[in-house]
Structure 1
Amino acid sequence: MGILQFFSQNILQKPAFFVGLIVLIGYILLKKKPQDVFAGFIKATVGYMILDVGSGGLVTTFRPILAALNTKFHIGAAVIDPYFGLTAANEKIAEEWPSFVGAAATALLVGFFFNILLVALRKITKVRTLFITGHIMVQQAATIALILLVTIPAFKDLGSGLGSILIGLLCGTYWAVSSNMTVEPTQRLTGGGGFAIGHQQQFAIWFVDKIAPKLGKKEENLDDLKLPGFLNIFHDTVVASATLMLFFFGAILLVLGPDIMSDPEVITSGTLFDPTKQNFYMYILQTAFTFSVYIFILMQGVRMFVAELTNAFQGISAKLLPGSFPAVDVAAAFGFGSAAAPLFGFATGLIGQLITIVLLIVFGSPVFIITGFVPVFFDNAAIAVYADKRGGWKAAVILSFISGVLQVALGAVAVSLLGLASYGGYHGNIDFEIPWVPFAYIFQYGGYIGLALVFIFLLAIPQIQFAKAKDKEAYYAGQLQPED
């Protein structure tokens, strides 16, 4: 019991060391040199610690603005972005269910190995893909843990051990099934590239691949359109995130004004505006850019530990699952479509988001949504790439715009449902609007029966895909079917 208590307190409840341990074990199994195993452990652990620094910085920078908004307008605000969402989910879990602090890290491991099992049994499960995008798995495990804890009140009674296993099984099922849905669309896009997508848009990619041909002609694609050159600056993540943060938070701070931002009774944490030391407009610029700084720090930490985590995962998959499809970051697909598609999707998706934000304000929504860089770029860029391939620029315009609308509208619903308005963030990516917002309501009204129904629904998807395939061996090989 003493060993288990030590492991629980010092490893399971310390995600940085748990991720490091996963990498350590993975590299040992791969028979890496001792120095490489040690270096991998350090990089993974320190990388996660850097992520924590970035997350903490986002919280301390955003909390004063949340406090001011609540004081002046009695509304909550949330950034729809997986990094803000990760921070918000971890903070809420730590405050309300402290015994589940290490649940996401445990679920990450459980989910990954369950994904391996589903692929190993692919003759039964019909699953062909292994999700290996580690940083996405971290974000999603935390969000799914929060969804279950909020929507099924009895879930916490399971305890962190059994609860974490159940979270992991749900994560692993979603990772395996959703990435499996992208095999044919991605094979079609890449001309047989041999990989699938394991990111935040798998359900959306499947839907786009089916519906885009009905909305336009693939011959009329984005390569035939001319886009303004200034959009190229948004290729740079720092420039894009700083610009978006300045646009949104600059507008919010201007509305709030210097008086409330310098009131110590309202701004009890973070940076208080001091009119004797700084101009208010420079304070706005500094605050907006500070968000970009912490997002950059967070992403650097993610890159550090994910590089090691992904290597360990790929080694395991190569040894245990030859012939399976790796499900990788969606950015891998961008180079196979129109060069204009990513920026085109970003622009049209952003327009959809902005219009919906205005509508939320007009109709008096109690939640104010602030757009985040990752969903507005990666989701809508991916949708535009796949839509343009199947239905040309018309499909890309329509589907990217709809995605932007759904990200904001359903993001507001999720923030209200999960009680995240005071924590400042929600995941925001399109798959965490549909199907995960409907899933959350199924959990809320169905409890454990609803959870079972979601498992059944997910596991039925590859069975239906296989049943519809005319050539069964071609299905396993990821080859396009005659009707495709």
Structure 2
Amino acid sequence: MNLTQLLNKGLLGEPAFLLGMIAFIGLLLQRSSIEKMINGTIKTMLGYILIQIGGMAAGTALSNLSAMIQRGFQIIGIIPHNETVVALAQINYGHEIAWIMLIGMVLHLCIARFTPIKYIFLTGHHILYMASMLASLLVVTALSGWQVYILGGLFLALSMSLGPAIAQPYVKKVVGHNQVAIGHFNSVGYVLAGLVAQLTKSKEVKEEPKKLQRVQSFFQDHMVVVAVFTFFLFFISSLFVSPEGISEMFSERHFIVVSFIQSIWFTGGVYIILAGVRMLVSEIIPAFQGIAQRVVPKSIPALDCPILFPYSPIAAMIGFLLSFFGGFVAMAALLFYQYTTIIPGVIPHFFSGGAAGVIAYKVGGRRGLVVASFVHGFVITLLPVMLVPLLSGLGYIRATFADSDFSVIGILLHKLIEFLFA
């Protein structure tokens, strides 16, 4: 249990502390001044905390939107929500999760040190999520304890190394350099968005109509665009909920007031996320070079997906909306064919769909953004259908893992176990 507490409630339980320590060690190895080490460490931690604060603010609004949609359409199904299913996995398999995380991180560093795959996965909570998914799959098999630890750790290490690697060609097109990567387990979704955007991009750029140019001048501040889009999303969703339902959910407030307040709350969260990303990246990348030069030469830090948002905030917003719409179409298809119904989670579509939207726009322009974001949302909503039955050890819960890599890796691991141990 000491190991479990060290990993789950210590280093990785506080990602801001982990990133701060990385920045401090990197600056120390560069022999920076004490003042610079203190500033770099605090600003790195502050940048991550701002992302968390913004994420909580935006997440609160998105959770309210999700509740409105479920209540308005009377849909009952399974919601992809990492935090919910991970909490249950930690209760049941905390010891196994800790060992998988420890072995996985050691193997991951070995891969970065001794192979051409030089990415260092720094998104601590996603490491915990993937370890939880792997433990949930492996513990219910006939494997012994050490086999669960080794196989789980190996798959975790490969996921942490290969995920950023396969998405990097598209990430590089967004950021314009190779100094940072994406450490977020939706790599398959990002590659899919990039490929679809490549196939559907416009061959020629048409001149924009003057009327459209005048409209765009009104929306030069991307925060205004986010607020307006989100207002209409809440407003339309509220039309499907009874006045009594809205009154019960939001303390007797009028639905128009609710739509305004929730949209501004969400926009404020996005603004804080973008500010936190800029601060984090500006501090962690220079500091990371000190570690890269000494421990893992030429290594590249892999950070959470919101680092892509500042490169095209409007594309991130449109990507979220279209990904969410694609999820709804997939849900309708599942309802029609009477399969297990996956209700698209607003929060994963915001983060994963937003990052996929930025990639799609940079790769394929406007047409690529529209088509790729829709396809992304459709696919990441369908994938959990195949993962849900494999999580039987957790019992029947109305939640599953959200992002594409969890489903893909879970299915591959299940097939491997069937092949080797059947």
Alpha-carbon spacing, 1:23–1:325, altered in 2? closer, same or farther (3 Å): closer
Question: Does the CA-based 8 Å contact 1:349-1:403 persist in structure 2?
Answer: no
Q: Which amino acid aligns with 1:260?
A: G
1:441 aligns with 2:418: no
Does residue 1:375 correspond to 2:352, yes or no? yes
Map Cα deviations across residues 340-370 of structure 1 (whole Å, 9 max, x no partner).
Answer: xx97898689557525524634736744325
Question: With structure 2 as the length reference, what TM-score do the two structures score?
Answer: 0.66
Q: How many residues align?
A: 404
Superposed displacement of residue 144, structure 1: 1.7
2:205 is matched with 223
Residue identity (%): 19
2:10 is paired with a residue of what secondary structure?
A: helix
Q: Deviations over 1:429-464 (max 9, x none)?
A: xxx32x542322344x45x837999xxxxxxxxxxx
Q: Is contact 1:360-1:368 (8 Å) kept?
A: yes
Say which of 119, 127, 131 aligns to 1:130.
119
Secondary structure of the residue aligned to 1:242 is helix
3-state SS of paired residue (1:255): coil
| Residues 44, 305 of structure 1: 8 Å contact kept | yes
Matched, 1:148 2:134: yes
Q: What corresponds to 1:89 in structure 2?
A: 82
Q: Matches of 2:54 and 2:194 in 1, distance apart?
A: 36
Aligned partner letter, 1:75: I
Superposition pairs of residues 35-74 of structure 1, within 5 angstroms: 35-57=35-57, 61=61, 73-74=74-75
- Equivalence for 2:363: 386
Structure 1 vs Structure 2 CA RMSD = 5.5
Q: Which amino acid aligns with 1:141?
A: I
| Distance in 1 (alpha carbons) for counterparts of 2:219 and 2:390 | 33
Residue in 2 aligned with 1:293?
268
Query: Which blocks of at least 5 consecutive residues in structure 2 are unaligned?
Result: none
1:198 to 2:182 alignment: yes
Give, in whole Å, the separation in 2 of the partners of 1:233 and 1:113: 51
**SS state at 1:31 partner:** coil
- Which position in structure 2 is the counterpart of 1:32? 32
User: 1:25-58: per-residue Cα shift (whole Å, max 9, x none)?
Assistant: 3433333333333344434444555555445545
- Partners of 1:199 and 1:330 within 8 A in 2: yes
Residue equivalent to 1:120: 113
Closer, same or farther in 2 for the Cα pair 1:334/1:146, shift >3 Å? closer
1:83-124 Cα offsets, whole Å, 9 max, x none, are: xxxxx43454345525988999998997676544323322xx
Over 3 Å counting, the alpha-carbon distance change for 1:293 and 1:102 in structure 2 is: farther
Report if aligned partners of 2:319, 2:358 keep a CA contact under 8 Å in 1: no
CA distance in 1 between counterparts of 2:8 and 2:345 reads 36
Q: How does 1:401-480 map to 2 (within 5 A)?
A: 401-410=374-383, 427=402, 432-433=403-404, 435-443=405-413, 445-446=414-415, 449=417
Report the equivalent of 1:466: none
Could you list the runs of 5+ residues in structure 1 that have no partner in the other structure? 81-87, 454-484
Matched-pair contact (CA < 8 Å) for 1:129–1:196: no
- SS, match of residue 241 in structure 2: helix
The 1:50/1:97 distance shift into structure 2, 3 A limit, reads same
